[in-house]
Amino acid sequence: MGRFDGRDGPLRVRYEPTSVKDLLVEMKDTAELLIDLSYSAVLHGSPTIAHEVVELEHRMDVLQMRARMSLMLAARSPDEAETLAPVLGVVGAADKISDAAGDIAKIVTEEIGLPDAMRGALTEGVETLVRGTVSADSAYAGRTLKDIDLESKTGVRVIAIRREDDWIFNPGPKTQIEVGDVTLLRGPETGVVDVHPTLTGDPFDPNEPPEPAINDLERAVDSIVLMKNLSELAVDLAYGSVLFDNEALAEEVSNLEIEVDALQSRFEAWTLRAAQEADDPVSLRGLIHLGVATEEISDAALEITEGVMRDIGVHPVVEMAVQESDEIITRTVIVEGSNLDGTRIENGIPATDISTSVIAIRRPDEGWLVGHDIDTTLRAGDAVLSKGTRTSAEEFEALAA
């Protein structure tokens, strides 16, 4: 793979025989991780997390170029070009998400800055995500994630590991933690406070962000948090529409994109009004920067659905890539009398011990229920789209049967 040297610029990328499916899997996993990392870098004002975003963005540029090369070679006839054209859309969308995440990270790396109130609101909209290097005397070093059992004990999950120049996305139970690993932890703040010192030898001291003091700024902040949540939901639903070749889900992505556009318009107006009251209006520049990048993520989600919306059909390579990605989307029908029949869903999280989230429910008599804030009780006949690890998907399926 081509490498990026910050001093000399991007190195040349040469064609290598590579599975398009494998490239798409890595691009999907990288794009989703980049969204998490970029907002967390802003939330914590963390240059180290922002640096990881920049490195992954360079990696995505190489993946995107290699995928385009492979797709150009794969099209040997007009029919093949027609079916592969939407795949280029999926490749381009992942790269756009990567670019948007890089722009969000620039708020930290270029010291553009954000109002303190913004970080206060993001604390509610983003799970705590921290970066830590495994110390030589860590009690976790040399042990597998199954042996450590962090998730069930603390609610904290290792979502990625960088081992020198290699990345392990969504590591599984058999993944072993090694000294020097750069780990990315996500979970409740109370759990992170306990896990981080054991992993790295350094304490984790979260800062208590102040409350917003300007009314219009508070409205702008609320809008950007909602835009973030809707954009992430749009990406999940877009991949779901591709996986299940479902035009109704693609329509939901289009509706979400329209809603995010409208939110951005109101957000910009409230930000400009807040500037009139701010002691230093330039300090709001990062807020506008964040709004533009967040809206670009929803635009990219819409691009993923293009093949479904235009009735071109979904190329099998895309379906396989979504199925084989580390964090997968599954469709589960609730069987009458099953363990999930009657289970409460609050804020998209089922009342089970399984680490999965519900992103959409299709109810025969109501149509689609969509959103991170789904509050309902599952019923027999509900078709549930959920997102989680492969293990959690299997456990969820077992409860529904």
- What's the chain's average pLDDT? 82
Question: Average pLDDT, stretch 186-194?
Answer: 82
pLDDT reading at 350 higher than 60: yes
In angstroms, how far is CA 342 from the centroid of its own chain? 29
Contact predicate 329/369, CB 8 Å: no
pLDDT bracket for residue 7 (50, 70, 90): very low
Sequence-distant (≥ 6) Cβ neighbours of residue 382 within 8 angstroms? 333, 334, 361, 362, 363
Is residue 120 domain-resident? no
Q: Helix (H, G, I), strand (E, B), or coil: what is residue 357?
A: strand
Is residue 375 domain-resident? yes
The domain total for the chain is: 3
Top-confidence residue, 255 or 222: 255
- For the sheet with 327-333, list strands across it: 327-333, 383-389, 356-363, 367-370
pLDDT reading at 199 higher than 80: yes
Final residue before a domain boundary, out of 271, 290, 318: 318
Final residue before a domain boundary, out of 287, 318, 349: 318
Question: Average pLDDT, stretch 199-213?
Answer: 69
Q: What is the pLDDT of residue 226?
A: 81
State the number of CA atoms in the 13 A half-sphere of 121 facing the CB.
21
Which of 206, 207, 255, 212 is CA-nearest to residue 360? Answer: 255
Tokens representing 48 are 């180290």
The verdict on 224 and 102 lying in the same domain is yes
Q: What is the pLDDT of residue 10?
A: 60
Q: What is the pLDDT of residues 259-276, one digit of tens each?
A: 899 988 888 887 787 777
Is residue 333 domain-resident? yes
* Phi then psi dihedrals of residue 271, to 5 deg: -65, -40
The verdict on 250 and 372 lying in the same domain is no
In angstroms, how far is CA 400 from the centroid of its own chain? 26
Q: Kindly state the helix (H) or strand (E) to which residue 379 belongs, with its residue range.
A: none
Looking at the DSSP bridge assignments, the partners of residue 168 are 161
Helix axes 215-243, 316-324, angle to 10 degrees: 120
The verdict on 111 and 17 lying in the same domain is yes
* Phi then psi dihedrals of residue 131, to 5 deg: -110, 135
Q: How far is CA 337 from CA 69, 340, 382, 400, in A?
A: 51, 8, 13, 9
Cα separation of the two ends of the chain: 43
**Most confident region among 1-15, 72-86, 166-180, 364-378 by mean pLDDT:** 166-180
Q: Helix (H, G, I), strand (E, B), or coil: what is residue 218?
A: helix
d(CA 160, CA 157): 9
The verdict on 180 and 65 lying in the same domain is no
Contact predicate 373/345, CB 8 Å: no
Q: What is the pLDDT of residues 309-332, one digit of tens each?
A: 888 777 788 888 888 787 788 888
pLDDT reading at 304 higher than 80: yes
Q: Helix (H, G, I), strand (E, B), or coil: what is residue 138?
A: coil
Q: What is the pTM of this model?
A: 0.76
Across 175-207, b (16+ Cβ under 10 Å) vs e yields ebbeeebbbbbbbeeebbbbbbeebbeeebeee
Final residue before a domain boundary, out of 200, 228, 258: 200
Taking phi over 0 as left and psi of -120 to 50 as alpha, with beta for the rest, 126 belongs to beta
Beta strands in 175-334, from DSSP E residues, in sequence order = 182-187, 327-333
Question: In which domain, by residue range, is 373 found?
Answer: 327-400
The verdict on 110 and 157 lying in the same domain is no
Is residue 136 domain-resident? yes
Which of 216, 227, 30, 203 is CA-nearest to residue 122? Answer: 227
d(CA 397, CA 252): 24
The verdict on 10 and 111 lying in the same domain is yes
**CATH number of the domain enclosing 195:** 3.30.70.1450
d(CA 363, CA 345): 14
Contact predicate 399/280, CB 8 Å: no
pLDDT reading at 138 higher than 90: yes
Query: Which residue do the tokens 């592969």 mark?
Result: 84
Contact predicate 129/49, CB 8 Å: yes
The verdict on 109 and 236 lying in the same domain is yes
Q: What does the DSSP 8-state code read for residue 212?
A: P
Q: What is the pLDDT of residue 4?
A: 43
Neighbours of 49 (CB within 10 A): 23
pLDDT reading at 305 higher than 70: yes
Q: How far is CA 275 from CA 152, 221, 225, 283, 286, in A?
A: 45, 13, 19, 9, 12
The answer to which of 87-96, 208-217, 338-347 has the lowest mean pLDDT is 208-217
pLDDT reading at 134 higher than 50: yes
Looking at the DSSP bridge assignments, the partners of residue 186 are 129, 157
The verdict on 226 and 92 lying in the same domain is yes
